[in-house]
Amino acid sequence: MPDTRLDEPKGEEVETPQTRFPSVYTNATNMAFGIFDFRILFAEQRLVAINQVVTRPLLEVVMSPQHMKEFAKRMSEKVADYEQMFGPIPVDPTSDTEGEQQNEAETKNEVSPGSSVG
């Protein structure tokens, strides 16, 4: 049987997605927009004590309105693909996260270019 392993690099560092950019876990987002850009703040929420949640900001992504529109379209397509393959994604019916995010976006819709969210 032929050897199908990839050749080991000889003294060279192989660049992989993990070495080019960081990978973070997020379970909380905040979105805002201004006339020139959209901002998505990714964060992680942790339960540190009973009824006490701490939110730690991790990363802010800023993009043009045109890019955001395409990004939203592709995200919707990928969620639909996922659900077609694995079934519907359950959503916690006791959480009003969608409404909270919409309200936060509406209250922060005047973010000026160059300013940060959060």
What's the confidence (pLDDT) of residue 111?
Answer: 39
Cα distance between residue 17 and residue 68, in whole Å: 23
Stated pTM of the model? 0.59
Residue 114's pLDDT band, with cuts at 50, 70 and 90, is very low
SS3 20: helix
> How do residues 26-54 score in pLDDT, each as one tens digit?
999 999 999 999 999 999 999 999 999 99
Q: Which residues contact 35 (CB under 8 A, 6 or more apart)?
A: none
Angle at 26 between CA 108 and CA 116, to 5 degrees: 30
- List the chain domain ranges: 23-88
